[in-house]
Amino acid sequence: MRIGFGYDSHRLVEGRKLILGGVEIPYEKGLLGHSDGDALTHAIIDAMLGAIGLGDIGKHFPDTDPAFKDADSIELLKQTVERVRGEGYEVEWVDSTVVIEEPKLAPYIEKMREKLAVLDIRPGDISVKAKRNEGMGFIGRGEGVAAFAVCQLRKIEPAL
């Protein structure tokens, strides 16, 4: 078994879509990033890569590479699942938290869990929680979003 921790944050800006956990959420601002800016999915990717000792998302999907401009982060997550498998592991469980002042994410959490199930686990094995920062800091002022994730990997048993 391996455990990894991930973190990501992005600015909220006008003229971008707000995508979290692969779900587009109606809002007047979206997340600024080289890809689609999906901080939740990025935090999960970082947790997975950390669990197998392969660095972070920037090492594998650098923001200097035009191939990842406006990339769908769920596709990057699928590629990360394959890297994890290549190292002989599979995802067993994910726990994550998005910190955002607004909009409220509760109506979208189940859909996020379904989209994140590309991890080849049941949505019930993916926890997504949403928290506010109670007006404090860059998140509380509505300037950005942060996401945290922990994942547990298990060693793939060889077929008999």
On whether residue 83 sits in a domain, the answer given is: yes
On whether residue 16 sits in a domain, the answer given is: yes
Token representation of residue 14: 């006008």
Span 75-91, average pLDDT: 96
Q: CB–CB of 149/6 below 8 Å? A: yes
pLDDT of residue 158: 74
**Separation between Cα atoms, residue 75 and residue 62, nearest integer Å:** 15
On whether residue 160 sits in a domain, the answer given is: no
On whether residue 49 sits in a domain, the answer given is: yes
On whether residue 61 sits in a domain, the answer given is: yes
Share of the chain above pLDDT 70, in %: 99
Per residue in 96-153, pLDDT (tens digit) is: 999 999 999 999 999 999 999 999 999 999 999 999 999 999 999 999 999 999 999 9
On whether residue 40 sits in a domain, the answer given is: yes
On whether residue 127 sits in a domain, the answer given is: yes
pLDDT of residue 45: 97
Task: Give the number of other CB atoms < 10 A from CB of residue 5.
Answer: 13
Q: Which helix (H) or strand (E) is 58 found in, with range?
A: helix 57-60
On whether residue 39 sits in a domain, the answer given is: yes
pLDDT of residue 147: 98
Task: Tabulate helix, strand, coil % of the chain (nearest 5).
Answer: 35, 30, 35
Total tally of structural domains belonging to the chain: 1
Span 38-67, average pLDDT: 92
Range of the domain at 35: 2-155
**What is the CATH number for 125?**
3.30.1330.50
DSSP 8-state symbol, 155: E
